[in-house]
Amino acid sequence: MRAGRIVLGVGLLLAVGGAAGLAAYGWRPAIDPIDPPTAASFDPALMRQGAELASVGNCGTCHTAPGGRPFAGGLALPTPFGTIYTTNITPDPETGIGRWSEAAFQRAMREGVDRAGRNLYPAFPYDHFTLVTDADNKALYAFLMTRQPVPARAPDNDLPFPLNQRFVLAGWKLLFLREGPYAPDPAHDAAWNRGAYLAEGLAHCGACHTPRNLLGAEETGRRFAGGDAEGWHAVPIGSGSPAPVPWTADSLYQYLRDGWHGQHGTAQGPMGPVADSLAGIPEADVRAIAGYVASVMGQPDADARKRGDALVAATANPAGPGTRPQSAGSQTIAPAATAPDPGAAIYAATCAACHESGRPSPFGGLDLRLSSAISGDSPANLIRIIRQGVPAQAGARAPIMPGFAASLSDRQLAALSGYLRGRFADKPAWSGLDAAIRATRDSEVAASAASH
């Protein structure tokens, strides 16, 4: 069904792009190359500002392949349409952006067109970056043009015809690109507008946390309603958040700043590098992003607040392994099974010692009644966390957890996941759990192959 919708969507894109594409090439000419500027030609303060902005945009993560040099590109980005490889954005004159003028860089950010006049694939999220101001683009340009040049050419994208023909992107832009820059909302204060500017622009939160249509564009009417990224489910960060304890601006700030929060768990998957990047930017900017996202989520209703408060109280004073209170407010926690249950046995052997230790995060496992991975609509994140674990971060005071990919079969993983859902979430059982486990395993294999 999904494949049929994609084919239909590509047909629509071709119809629009066929008409718009030829015209697009006519008014998007190449911009003349320049001699690579010297580092001394840039103001050091501007370079420092650009470094902070690059961290907000998480540029280094996307433009660095595993084991590769920073910003030299080559990272494989899987999409429903094929694999796209990120480009070299070091100032190498032959394979990077060394011969790009500032005007060429501005155009790529604002319009999604490279120096040679080619339309860029929206895996580079210029539908968000278009909101960035000229002044901030100038700072980003100064930072990138003073990195170490690295000669490295990205592999060719693995896309089927006709998506490997860039003229179809003209149709995509005609339908979905609304050029910026960001216009402040006079109904809100400066901090809210700063948060909106960063979250909607460089941080491109919606690129992961918003569902996409059959043409791969964000569904504007469902902003922050949850999406998918690299095999992980980017949970809703709007009113549909599955967090058992409602988020606040303060808890969002700590989560974004430190990569974990005691009542919400750790930032994993694509969110992990985001938190790592945000750790190096000014505190005021992280607070602004957190405040904006909290405002989008809105205030929880009285029932949600009551359930959250009761859950926080219950989990703050656990009675010890296996003897916890069996309810928190109106949220009932099923007791451990008395009949033989393979999921319960696996939990007791592999999980309970940490997750029922009573030690607070990060030294003890998260109380699983607080887990969004268990209470969410999709089992994808729980499956990946169990398989991959939570790796230790050098020098960081953060939670860790071993991965069980090598020790649990698919059947055991399904039994454990189903048990965790039934015991720790006041939600119905997941449907399609076996299929989700197979899809996770397949995506891990594909990602590993694409990176080699």
Tell whether the model's pLDDT for residue 77 goes beyond 50: yes
Convert 211-226 to b/e letters by CB count within 10 Å (16 or more is b).
Answer: bbebbbbbeeebbbbb
Q: How far, rounded to the nearest angstrom, does the alpha carbon of residue 316 sit from its chain's CA centroid?
A: 30
Summary count for the chain: helices (H), strands (E): 19, 8
Q: How far apart are CA 91 and CA 182, in angstroms?
A: 28
Domains observed in the chain: 28-176 (no CATH), 190-297 (1.10.760), 341-450 (1.10.760)
Measured CA to CA in angstroms, residue 104 lies from 31, 59, 152 at distances of 6, 18, 20
Q: Contact at 8 Å (CB) between 228 and 246? A: no
Tell whether the model's pLDDT for residue 326 goes beyond 90: no
Q: Over range 3-21, report the average pLDDT.
A: 49
Tell whether the model's pLDDT for residue 323 goes beyond 70: no
Q: How far apart are CA 372 and CA 245, in angstroms?
A: 9
Q: Is 261 annotated as a binding residue?
A: no
Convert 384-400 to b/e letters by CB count within 10 Å (16 or more is b).
Answer: bbbbbebeeeeeeebbe
Q: Is 233 annotated as a binding residue?
A: no
Q: Is 452 annotated as a binding residue?
A: no
Structure tokens of 66?
A: 């595993």
Of 127, 162, 170, the C-alpha closest to 25 is 170
Preceding amide of 181 cis, omega within 30: yes
Which pLDDT score, from 0 to 100, does residue 23 have?
52
pLDDT band at 139 (very low <50, low <70, confident <90, very high): very high
Residues 251-260 pLDDT 10s: 999 999 999 9
Q: How far apart are CA 365 and CA 401, in angstroms?
A: 8
Which pLDDT score, from 0 to 100, does residue 318 have?
59
Q: Is 204 annotated as a binding residue?
A: no
Tell whether the model's pLDDT for residue 17 goes beyond 90: no
Beta strands in 138-286 (DSSP E): 227-229, 232-234, 260-261, 265-266
| pTM for this predicted structure | 0.88
Q: Is 62 annotated as a binding residue?
A: yes
